[in-house]
Structure 1
Amino acid sequence: MHTSALPEPPYYMVSFSSQRTNVNDDYGEIGYAMTKLAAQQPGYLGFESARGADGFGILISFWKDEESIRAWKSVIDHVEAQRRGRQDWYSRYEIRVALVQRAYGFESETATAT
Structure 2
Amino acid sequence: MAKLVSVPVPCYAVIFSSLRTEGDDGYGAMAQRMQELARRQEGFLGVESARETIGITVSYWRDRESIARWKADAEHRAVQELGREKWYASYRIRMAKVEEERAFESQG
Fold conserved between structures, TM > 0.5: yes
> 2:56 matched to which residue of 1?
58
Normalization by structure 1: what TM-score?
0.89
- 1:27-73 deviation digits (Å, cap 9, x = unpaired): 11111111000000000001000000x3x110000000000001000
Partners of 2:7 and 2:45 in 1: how far apart? 7
- 1:75 corresponds, among 73, 76, 93, to 73
Partners of 1:38 and 1:2 in 2: how far apart? 18
Q: Say which SS state the counterpart of residue 80 (structure 1) adopts.
A: helix
> 1:40 matched to which residue of 2?
40
Q: Say which SS state the counterpart of residue 93 (structure 2) adopts.
A: strand
Q: Say which SS state the counterpart of residue 92 (structure 1) adopts.
A: strand
Task: Structure 1: state its 5+ residue gaps.
Answer: none
Do 1:13 and 1:98's aligned partners in 2 also have CA atoms closer than 8 Å? yes
What percentage of residue pairs aligned between the two structures are identical?
44
Task: Check 1:51–1:85 CA distance in 2 against 1; reply closer, same or farther (3 A cut).
Answer: same
Task: Structure 2: state its 5+ residue gaps.
Answer: none
Normalization by structure 2: what TM-score?
0.93
> 1:98 matched to which residue of 2?
96
> 2:5 matched to which residue of 1?
4
Q: CA deviation at 1:2?
A: 5.0
Do 1:2 and 1:49's aligned partners in 2 also have CA atoms closer than 8 Å? no
Supply the AA of the counterpart residue of 2:48. Answer: E
Q: Say which SS state the counterpart of residue 104 (structure 2) adopts.
A: coil
Do 1:2 and 1:47's aligned partners in 2 also have CA atoms closer than 8 Å? no
Q: CA deviation at 1:103?
A: 1.0
- Structural mapping, 1:17-28, within 5 Å: 17-28=17-28
